[in-house]
Amino acid sequence: MKKNMGSADRIIRVAVAALIAVLFLTNVISGTLGIVLLAAAGIFLLTSLVNFCPLYAPFGISTCKVQPDKTQ
């Protein structure tokens, strides 16, 4: 997998995941919506840890500033 996420994208995803987790744990969001948002938070956290977003790949989107040239 080639990295396609920059540091700003990763920070935003981790912050959103943390916010959703806190809201879920304090019972601000609950029920089915809470579970769905918690699953989305888990996906955000996982994609930020591996620096790869599968939804970016088909569209050729990359938020990395500079991609290293591996032809040399």
Report pLDDT digits (tens) over 2-19. Answer: 888 999 999 999 999 999
Tell me, what's the pLDDT at 65?
82
The residues, ordered by sequence, that sit 6+ positions from 3 with a Cβ below 8 Å of its Cβ are: 51, 52, 64, 67
Q: How far apart are CA 67 and CA 72, in angstroms?
A: 14
The structure tokens listed for 45 are 């956290």
Tell me, what's the pLDDT at 67?
56
Residuewise pLDDT in 10s, the chain (72 residues) = 788 899 999 999 999 999 999 999 999 999 999 999 999 999 999 999 999 999 998 998 888 886 555 555
pTM to 2 decimals?
A: 0.82
Residue (of 53, 24, 56) closest to 38 by Cα position: 24
